[in-house]
Structure 1
Amino acid sequence: MLKILFSPAEGKASGGSEYAKEILGSNSARENILNEYNNILKRGDEETIKELFGFKKFSDCKPYINDIFNSPLMCAVERYQGVAYEYLDFDSLDEKSQEYIKSNTIIFSNLYGPILGGDTIANYKVKQGNDVGKFIPDRFYKDRFSYQLDLYLAKSEILDLRAGYYDKFYKVTKPYTTMKFLKGGKTVSHWAKAYRGLVLRAVAQNNINSMEEFMALEIDGLSVEEITVIKNKTEIVYNITN
């Protein structure tokens, strides 16, 4: 089976109606960092909360100040809002494609760590790179969850669509495939998010179950420029053609 590694987004949809359920690698370690986050909000120190969320105005923080253990829940792939998720356009996919993403995509949250697209999470805010109290999320989850992820991914092929920052949460130890996008011969940075979303959408729509199937997949607007292999990493370089 193919598993896709994906990034979260700073923006979140509010609300939710899903029931709480066990999430990927769920254990007491994750509860520790969630409790730390919740306690920061309960203490109500405005400067600390603004710093954690990455906001200048405390009024912008208020929608996120809720008890995370008693908040409405939503599937992670529906909760996140950003360029990649806009181009993924999850809501417009058919049910089979949606279930594919929920079951086969691992998103690396700045609060929850590695979660499946279908795992339910509360509306939260942690600016990328920020500590959560005494916890440094990328180090914390790399230390506590890498072994579990190695086991979980042992029999799967891996397509890594994460932004580079999220490599800090988990280093893939087996062969995997990643990609780079070129426009006019130059590497695309910000808009790479859009194409990662489009790639995930195409993978789900075509129910891709192996890298062999993926390599045969034609994706609108992209053509393969070259493929390089360094140790366990295969990088596909795409030209953006539209």
Structure 2
Amino acid sequence: MKILFSPSEGKVYTSSQSPLANRVKIIHQAYLDFVQNAEVGELQKIWGLKKLEEIQKVRQQSMHYGVLPAIECYSGVAYEALGFSSLDCEARKVILDSVVIFSNLFGPISAKENLPFYKLKQGEGFAHFKTKTLYQELEKELDEMLQGECIIDLRAEFYQKLYVPKSHYFTFEFLKNGKRVSHYAKYYRGVALREIAKNGGIYKIEEHLEGLHFLGSEDKMNCTKLVFAI
């Protein structure tokens, strides 16, 4: 089983030091070189910040980074809903072994892989770096990683467009008053991931998502979409 998940703009800052995988290390060094030498306007663009004091703070944090496992690095709504640290050992093992986070800076990252602190607004690039190009270069690697796996896609639409699985996969859609939700979907994707981890898979997931009404499934090409009302 492989569960595809989105990152978040919110990150946890730590002073802990651990080794980085070679690909992450190379990309991170390019990022640091840019951050160290970039004009304020360039940093405003890639970080989505306006205030000078905010930019100076993130620049300092970026240059004096700490390292955490990817699943603990992010602090957004979906990660709060997941509540990784509150899961039992067996459920945490499912997360660490199965989840692949689609970082917009480092590419597909295993939940257990170390990541440094960074900030990069969704869809933004810097110097010669572009998220879309990175995923194009890693497409074959992703195909091989997912081959023969039960694939569960809990990514946001931006990341779904970066890579589409070649074999059958499951995805989720959340509706409110018959319309797709966007911001709240982050929360429910985190809830779905938590329940999948607790139950060791997607089997009968509709019975475990309390507070959601299962509307049915839709099959299209090699995708089965599970639709819920909130």
Assess same fold via TM > 0.5: yes
Q: What is the DSSP-based 3-state SS (H/G/I as helix, E as strand, rest coil) of the residue aligned with 2:151?
A: strand
Task: Give the one of 197, 220, 223 matched to 1:230.
Answer: 220
* Paired AA for residue 162 in structure 1: R
Alignment match, 1:132: 126
Question: Unaligned regions of 5+ residues in structure 2, if any?
Answer: none
Q: 1:69 to 1:57 in 2, by over 3 A?
A: closer
Q: 1:31 to 1:69 in 2, by over 3 A?
A: farther
CA–CA separation in structure 1 for the residues paired with 2:222 and 2:183: 26
CA–CA separation in structure 2 for the residues paired with 1:114 and 1:154: 15
| Larger displacement relative to structure 2 (153-162 or 140-149) | 140-149
Q: What is the DSSP-based 3-state SS (H/G/I as helix, E as strand, rest coil) of the residue aligned with 1:197?
A: helix
Q: What is the DSSP-based 3-state SS (H/G/I as helix, E as strand, rest coil) of the residue aligned with 2:208?
A: coil
CA–CA separation in structure 2 for the residues paired with 1:46 and 1:158: 41
Question: What pairs with 1:35-74 in structure 2 (closer than 5 Å)?
Answer: 35-65=29-59, 71-74=65-68
CA–CA separation in structure 2 for the residues paired with 1:76 and 1:62: 24
Question: What pairs with 1:1-242 in structure 2 (closer than 5 Å)?
Answer: 2-17=1-16, 19-22=18-21, 27=23, 33-65=27-59, 71-137=65-131, 139-208=132-201, 211=202, 213-215=203-205, 217-240=207-230
CA–CA separation in structure 1 for the residues paired with 2:109 and 2:55: 24
* Paired AA for residue 218 in structure 2: T
Shift of 1:152: 0.8
Q: Contact 2:195/2:205 (CA < 8 Å) preserved in 1?
A: no
CA–CA separation in structure 1 for the residues paired with 2:140 and 2:36: 33
CA–CA separation in structure 2 for the residues paired with 1:6 and 1:166: 9
Q: Contact 1:15/1:74 (CA < 8 Å) preserved in 2?
A: yes
Shift of 1:141: 2.2
Deviations 1:1-21 (A, max 9, x none): x21101000111111525224
Q: Contact 1:41/1:66 (CA < 8 Å) preserved in 2?
A: no
Q: Contact 1:40/1:49 (CA < 8 Å) preserved in 2?
A: no
CA–CA separation in structure 2 for the residues paired with 1:192 and 1:40: 33
Shift of 1:96: 2.0
CA–CA separation in structure 2 for the residues paired with 1:230 and 1:92: 36
Q: What is the DSSP-based 3-state SS (H/G/I as helix, E as strand, rest coil) of the residue aligned with 1:191?
A: helix
CA–CA separation in structure 2 for the residues paired with 1:82 and 1:216: 24
Query: When the two structures are aligned, how many residues end up with a matched partner?
Result: 230
CA–CA separation in structure 2 for the residues paired with 1:222 and 1:64: 38
Deviations 1:4-47 (A, max 9, x none): 1010001111115252243xxx54xx555433311111214222
CA–CA separation in structure 2 for the residues paired with 1:51 and 1:134: 15
* Paired AA for residue 12 in structure 1: K
Q: Contact 2:43/2:55 (CA < 8 Å) preserved in 1?
A: yes
RMSD: 2.1
* Paired AA for residue 201 in structure 1: R
Q: Percent identity?
A: 34
Shift of 1:127: 0.3
Q: What is the DSSP-based 3-state SS (H/G/I as helix, E as strand, rest coil) of the residue aligned with 2:121?
A: coil
* Paired AA for residue 41 in structure 1: V
Shift of 1:188: 1.7
